[in-house]
Structure 1
Amino acid sequence: MMIPKGKLISIGGNEDKGTEPEPLFTQKNNLNFFELQILSRIMHECGGHDAHIEVITSASSIPEEVGQNYLDAFGKLHCTNVRIMDIRNREDAQNPEMIERIRNCDGVMFSGGNQLRLSSIFGGTQFLEIITERYFHEDGFVIAGTSAGAMAMSNTMIYQGSSSEALLKGEVKITTGLAFMRDVIIDSHFVKRGRFGRLTQAVAANPSCIGIGLGEDTGVLVTEGRYMEAIGSGLVIIIDGHHIRHTNIADLKEGSPISIENIIVHVLAKGNCFDLKERKFYVEGVTQNR
């Protein structure tokens, strides 16, 4: 498989008005997606203060407010070459102006909201083909995403699932994401919303995939499609199902409890790294250990 030359930055998000509500969890009604520390890292990886960054607000139900929030946040970092792509349907995604802008930017940022909007709007479009092509072939091209924008990065994508009943068969719904990464499943708001069971069920049903649970104000920087560094203030939870010896998930009726033997869990804090291909944890940068 081709080694990507670009970089991915997946962020666990923060509670906000533009994110789909989840039962039993209170929405804070604010637009603080993540601290400026992570936003600064995105700016740096895109090329610095003069980087041309396109923010894609398609996942959000309030794209104008979300877009303005990003302009304000990047502005605090003196990064002003930031534009908002207000793409609300597949027709918008085929607009020649949008195609031209995506060909010429240094990086893209997918906002939070509903990840199913992202897969249904961009799946199979030239817009997505260009982003994917640039990610695989251009040094320095960055794809970032927070919350829904992070979850949509993988080929296998959770689009629905109760946290409280997540280890009952059928409670977690999976579809195909934007497929910048394969053999991973990404979940966001992971610690605060108690989504351990949700990601565990997804991995049990797809044990070739590694689960990546992103806490809020926390993310991962992925290089070469495999070397993952934890960034931000919280935790990244890795759920590895490659060595599962037993699970009853295939034989159960809907709504029945799932059993799983020998699933492996790693917890990463800022600066810790993980090699997705070798499935190895590193206390410090992977490059220092190669």
Structure 2
Amino acid sequence: MGGAEDKLRDRQILRRFVAEAGGANARIVIIPTASQLDDTGDRYARIFHALSADETHVIQIQSREEALDPEAETLEAMEDASGIFISGGNQLRLSTLLGGTPLAAVLFRKHAAGAVVAGTSAGAALLAEHMIAFGQSGPSPSHKMVTLAPGLGLTHDVIIDQHFRQRDRLGRLLMALCYNPRLVGLGVDEDAAAIIDADRIVHVIGNGSVTVVDASQCRWTNADDVVTHGPIGVFGVKLDVLSPGCRYDLATRMAEPSRRMEGKPT
């Protein structure tokens, strides 16, 4: 989720998360660690209850010590969860507090076993192996525009940026891909979500778009020139913009239109 998802009206994205987690039988764990607001976890818990989730549990991890030695109740809730939701805030706080801890290990294992794991804003950035920690806005890549850090590694195919169109983040995503050209960049707009299914197909839902950047066929870049302090050049990058309903195959690196648009004359 790209952040600022609808929480008041039809709540399409959050409703889909609850449905994927089991609907009325969903047991959802909320991790609001990235947020500095005291009520973030409780607010999402109320929303998920309103969307018919059977059970919610807010895990308040405020220090690395708590993540290294979590309470039995916390581990039990994680083990029992059918859906795990990671809130927005500061993604570097998430990675530094949770990375390499028993709590992260349980989260990783639950995802592998089929639990639905979702993140919004900073929580979305954390899900990938390579995480954009912070950076600058702007449409063109340049040195020192982006800083990367390790994420949770629930997916090894993509690098995720959020609030994408609203905060003008194409340049920093391109820079991250210059450093990691095998990855696919997902730039997720606010009130949009990119759902990666078991077949490695990305599905777009919500009221925003997802910009997909494939740098695997990059023919040239001067990103490795540490002397250069100005704009960075990059040739051969492919960019697709997916509106709601569109899909992207991470295996073939091909975009597909929404089924309701297929066959329409161009």
TM-score w.r.t. length of structure 1: 0.83
Distance change (3 Å), C-alpha of 1:157 and 1:166? farther
Partner of residue 178 from structure 2, selected from 191, 201, 204: 204
Provide the residue aligned with 1:133 in structure 2. Answer: 109
Equivalent runs, 1:88-127 vs 2, <5 Å: 88-93=62-67, 94-95=69-70, 96-127=72-103
Q: Which amino acid aligns with 2:76?
A: E
Provide the residue aligned with 2:263 in structure 1. Answer: none
Question: Per-residue deviation at 1:225?
Answer: 6.1
State whether residues 2 and 163 of structure 2, in contact with CA within 8 Å, keep that contact through their aligned partners in structure 1.
yes
TM-score w.r.t. length of structure 2: 0.91
Provide the residue aligned with 1:192 in structure 2. Answer: 166
State the alpha-carbon separation in 1 of the partners of residues 183 and 7 from structure 2: 30
Equivalent runs, 1:69-84 vs 2, <5 Å: 69-84=43-58
Question: Per-residue deviation at 1:71?
Answer: 2.2
Q: Which amino acid aligns with 2:231?
A: P
Q: Which amino acid aligns with 2:59?
A: M
Equivalent runs, 1:129-278 vs 2, <5 Å: 129-136=105-112, 138-139=113-114, 141-164=115-138, 167-224=141-198, 226-253=200-227, 255-278=229-252
1:143-194 superposed Cα distances (whole Å, 9 cap, x missing partner): 0100000001111111010103862211210111111011311000001111
Q: Which amino acid aligns with 1:147?
A: S
Question: Per-residue deviation at 1:130?
Answer: 1.5
State the alpha-carbon separation in 2 of the partners of residues 125 and 34 from structure 1: 37
Question: Per-residue deviation at 1:40?
Answer: 0.5
State the alpha-carbon separation in 1 of the partners of residues 216 and 123 from structure 2: 26
Alignment pair present for 1:50 and 2:25: yes
State whether residues 14 and 34 of structure 1, in contact with CA within 8 Å, keep that contact through their aligned partners in structure 2.
no
Alignment pair present for 1:13 and 2:3: yes
Question: Per-residue deviation at 1:119?
Answer: 0.9
1:60-112 superposed Cα distances (whole Å, 9 cap, x missing partner): 111x2211221232233233511211111122222122112111111100000
Provide the residue aligned with 2:36 in structure 1. Answer: 61
Question: Stretches of 4+ moved more than 2 A in 1?
Answer: 31-35, 252-255
State whether residues 181 and 225 of structure 1, in contact with CA within 8 Å, keep that contact through their aligned partners in structure 2.
no
Q: Which amino acid aligns with 2:89?
A: G
State whether residues 160 and 172 of structure 1, in contact with CA within 8 Å, keep that contact through their aligned partners in structure 2.
yes
Provide the residue aligned with 2:262 in structure 1. Answer: none
Question: Per-residue deviation at 1:271?
Answer: 1.3
**Unpaired segments of 5 or more residues in structure 1?**
1-10, 16-30, 286-290
Question: Per-residue deviation at 1:13?
Answer: 0.5
Percent identity, aligned pairs only, is 35
**Unpaired segments of 5 or more residues in structure 2?**
260-266
Q: Which amino acid aligns with 2:75?
A: I
How large is the Cα RMSD of the aligned pairs? 2.0
1:99-145 superposed Cα distances (whole Å, 9 cap, x missing partner): 12111111100000011111111111111111111211x24x10010
State whether residues 49 and 80 of structure 1, in contact with CA within 8 Å, keep that contact through their aligned partners in structure 2.
yes
Q: Which amino acid aligns with 2:32?
A: T
Distance change (3 Å), C-alpha of 1:258 and 1:34? farther
State whether residues 7 and 47 of structure 2, in contact with CA within 8 Å, keep that contact through their aligned partners in structure 1.
no
Task: State which drifts further: 238-247 or 93-102.
Answer: 93-102
State whether residues 13 and 34 of structure 1, in contact with CA within 8 Å, keep that contact through their aligned partners in structure 2.
no
State whether residues 139 and 169 of structure 2, in contact with CA within 8 Å, keep that contact through their aligned partners in structure 1.
no
Question: Per-residue deviation at 1:33?
Answer: 9.3
Question: Per-residue deviation at 1:229?
Answer: 0.6
Distance change (3 Å), C-alpha of 1:216 and 1:254? same
Task: State which drifts further: 69-78 or 124-133.
Answer: 69-78
